[in-house]
């Protein structure tokens, strides 16, 4: 009996502690406060939001913004010590984030069933004008990269609970759709366009843009 107890205790001590998580308020979807992304790098949750469609505000997916904590603290040091409300209303913060000077990720969790084609069309509609705008910023090749990206949604259906993960690292977009890794796309225009959808001047959700940086003060304060 004693040996069995010792084995149980040792196993319990060896087991990793459950990851802390934060629930997106309107959907209840859980987002871990730290998460492994492309190449196994650990990123920290900056905040969450919800994507709705139609006048009935049908919830389509919850999203969470993740940032490389070391890179964020270095690039955003001027914003350390400010509270979430102040950051959410500071246009210069979003401009700093959209420079993509450190790795960032967007994790999406479907809250209703959507066909792969519907998701591809939604992303195409949001991204196409942005990759055109990116060309005017000196970032070329976005439209060809978008065609490749659209092909990543060649699945019959994205059911409720399905996860999508997009990580931008040094101008390369790493994608996972329904837990399936896709070929990286080396194109800064597509990276910028994707994050501009959520953090730009005309985001798909104004409230989501602000709540996506709700935990950023904690990330910038942590050491």
Question: In the structure, what pLDDT confidence band is assigned to residue 19 with cuts at 50, 70 and 90?
Answer: low
Q: Cα–Cα distances in Å, from 13 out to 5, 16, 34, 161, 169? A: 12, 8, 21, 31, 35
* pTM summary value: 0.90
Question: In the structure, what pLDDT confidence band is assigned to residue 213 with cuts at 50, 70 and 90?
Answer: very high
- Residue 50's CB is within 10 A of a number of other CB atoms, namely 20
What tens digit of pLDDT does each residue of 82-138 get? 999 999 999 999 999 999 999 999 999 999 999 999 999 999 999 999 999 999 999
pLDDT at 38: 85
Distance, CA of 40 to CA of 3 (rounded, Å): 37
pLDDT at 179: 86
Whether the pLDDT of residue 3 is over 50: the answer is: no
pLDDT at 191: 98
**How large is the average pLDDT for residues 35-50?**
95
Question: Range with the lowest mean pLDDT among 12-21, 175-184, 195-204?
Answer: 12-21
H or E stretch at 148: helix 142-150
**For the chain, percent of residues with pLDDT exceeding 70:** 91
pLDDT at 11: 37
Whether the pLDDT of residue 9 is over 90: the answer is: no
**For the chain, percent of residues with pLDDT exceeding 90:** 85
**How large is the average pLDDT for residues 66-80?**
98
Domain 18-221 is found in CATH 3.30.420.130:
no
What tens digit of pLDDT does each residue of 85-99 get? 999 999 999 999 999
Among 216, 222, 223, which Cα is nearest to 83's? 216
The ranges assigned to domains in the chain are: 18-221
Q: Cα–Cα distances in Å, from 65 out to 46, 77, 165? A: 5, 18, 10
Distance, CA of 36 to CA of 42 (rounded, Å): 4
């Amino acid at each position: 009996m004693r040996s069995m107890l010792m084995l149980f205790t040792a196993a319990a001590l060896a087991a990793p502690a459950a990851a802390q998580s934060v629930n997106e308020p309107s959907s209840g979807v859980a987002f871990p406060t730290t998460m492994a992304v492309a190449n196994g790098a650990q990123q920290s949750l900056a905040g969450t939001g919800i994507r709705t469609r139609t006048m009935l505000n049908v919830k389509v997916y919850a999203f969470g913004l993740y940032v490389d904590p070391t890179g964020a603290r270095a690039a955003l040091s001027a914003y350390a010590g400010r509270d979430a409300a102040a950051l959410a209303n500071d246009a210069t913060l979003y401009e700093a984030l959209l420079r993509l000077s450190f790795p960032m990720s967007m994790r999406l969790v479907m809250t209703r069933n959507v066909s792969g084609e519907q998701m591809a069309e939604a992303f195409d509609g949001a991204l196409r004008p942005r990759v055109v705008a990116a060309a005017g910023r000196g970032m070329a090749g976005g439209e060809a990269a978008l065609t490749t990206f659209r092909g990543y949604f060649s699945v019959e259906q994205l059911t409720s609970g399905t996860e999508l993960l997009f990580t931008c690292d040094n101008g390369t977009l790493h994608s996972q759709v329904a837990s399936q890794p896709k070929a990286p796309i080396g194109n800064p225009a597509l990276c910028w366009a994707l994050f501009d959808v959520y953090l730009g001047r005309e985001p798909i959700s104004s409230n989501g843009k602000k709540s996506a940086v709700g935990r950023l003060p904690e990330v910038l304060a942590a050491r």
